[in-house]
Amino acid sequence: DGGITQSPKYLFRKEGQNVTLSCEQNLNHDAMYWYRQDPGQGLRLIYYSQIVNDFQKGDIAEGYSVSREKKESFPLTVTSAQKNPTAFYLCASSISRGSWETQYFGPGTWLLVL
């Protein structure tokens, strides 16, 4: 099956700890995105990557970091600098670097702070 996978579904972080959320796609899409969703809210863009080895900050990049070493993978690290990380994190991809339309989403990861 083609699609986007995110793991784990639930992730727990201790204070002061960095955690990495996985996102993998086998759709052969060039562009990938990370969004944060707080309960009852819309999506806010954290980072996006239009092509391998390139990524750009979104609206709320502070306290997060990403890498794009492979076309299929776009992991997100939530660092200890992110003071309020509890949220639902969504990864998405779109077919080409200029194609902001029709983003395909993964199932999401819940990040909870202990």
Whole-number Å distance between alpha carbons of 57 and 6: 20
Whole-number Å distance between alpha carbons of 106 and 59: 20
Cβ distance to other proteins smaller for residue 16 or 42: 42
Cβ distance to other proteins smaller for residue 45 or 52: 45
DSSP codes joined into one string, 27-76: S--SEEEEEEE-TT--EEEEEEEEETTEEEE-TT-TTEEE--SBTTB--E
- Interface of this chain with other proteins, residues 82 to 111, rule: CB under 8 A: 90, 92, 100-108
Taking the complex as a whole, the smallest distance from the CB of residue 111 to other proteins amounts, in Å, to 14
- For other proteins, which residue of 13, 27, 44, 95 counts as binding (CB under 8 A)? 44
Taking the complex as a whole, the smallest distance from the CB of residue 107 to other proteins amounts, in Å, to 5
DSSP one-letter code for 80: T
Binding site for other proteins (CB under 8 A): 4, 40-45, 48, 58, 90, 92, 100-108
